[in-house]
């Protein structure tokens, strides 16, 4: 009797592995890589200005008491065009947005801003993706909430959509409380 039950063991194991594999195959692929730098201070950096009409960006610009957004973008990035109006909405509501332009030439950044608007208070040129690697970002666009002490509080991966605007405002308010 015990032997009869035991004979189903391999079949049950097969079923378990089958369900596991099918689950993995049909689950929607999650290719986002979360930054592990949440809660950590921004790494030290000092970038040159990406365009003539906006000041350059350094890590020290964030530790001034006010929570801000750090937006990773590039003129060659298509989703960045889609998020431009929502960044402008955030800027219109008094949010300071500091941009980091990844692997971009000044004339290309200027052209991108002329076409899609310029919500940035400062823009640093990250020609070697050093700041991007330093904060654990793996793509463009990404947006980080940085609190007034210069600590990374939140990471948004991908373009900002209409529904993300109030969410980011809330995250900025949360970052205000120490």
Footprint of another protein on this chain (CB under 8 A)? Answer: 31, 33-37, 74-78, 102-105, 108, 127-130, 132-136, 138-139
Do β-strands 68-73 and 97-102 pair in parallel, antiparallel, or remain unpaired? Answer: parallel
- Would you say 107 or 173 has its CB closer to another protein? 107
Q: Closest approach of Cβ 169 to another protein, in Å?
A: 27
| C-beta neighbour count of 34 within 10 angstroms | 11
Q: Closest approach of Cβ 143 to another protein, in Å?
A: 17
| C-beta neighbour count of 74 within 10 angstroms | 20
Q: Closest approach of Cβ 176 to another protein, in Å?
A: 26
Q: Closest approach of Cβ 65 to another protein, in Å?
A: 26
Of residues 77, 84, 68, 85, the one with CA closest to residue 102: 77
- Would you say 66 or 103 has its CB closer to another protein? 103
- Would you say 72 or 90 has its CB closer to another protein? 72
Say how far apart CA 104 and CA 73 lie, in whole Å. 9
Q: In what order do the strands lie in the sheet with 57-58?
A: 57-58, 46-49, 122-126, 97-102, 68-73, 142-146, 152-157
Give the C-alpha distances (Å, rounded to integers) separating 84 from 43, 49, 72, 111: 26, 20, 12, 14
- Would you say 3 or 163 has its CB closer to another protein? 3
Q: Closest approach of Cβ 146 to another protein, in Å?
A: 16
Say how far apart CA 36 and CA 39 lie, in whole Å. 9
- Would you say 36 or 92 has its CB closer to another protein? 36
């Amino acid at each position: 009797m015990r032997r009869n039950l035991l004979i189903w063991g391999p079949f049950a194991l097969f079923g378990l592995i089958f369900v596991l594999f099918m689950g993995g195959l049909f689950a929607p692929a999650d290719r986002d890589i979360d930054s592990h730098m949440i809660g950590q201070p921004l790494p030290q950096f000092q970038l040159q200005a990406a365009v003539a009409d906006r000041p350059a960006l350094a890590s020290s610009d964030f530790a001034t008491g006010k929570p801000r957004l750090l937006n990773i973008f590039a003129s060659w990035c298509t989703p960045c065009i889609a998020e431009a109006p929502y960044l402008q909405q955030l800027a219109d509501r008094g949010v300071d947005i500091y941009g980091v332009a990844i692997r971009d030439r000044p004339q290309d950044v200027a052209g991108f801003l002329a076409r899609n608007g310029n919500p940035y208070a400062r823009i640093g040129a990250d020609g070697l993706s050093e700041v991007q690697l330093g904060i654990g970002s793996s793509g463009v666009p990404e947006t980080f909430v940085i609190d007034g002490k210069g600590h990374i509080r939140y990471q948004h991966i991908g373009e900002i959509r209409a529904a993300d605007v109030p969410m980011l405002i809330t995250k900025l308010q949360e970052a205000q409380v120490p």
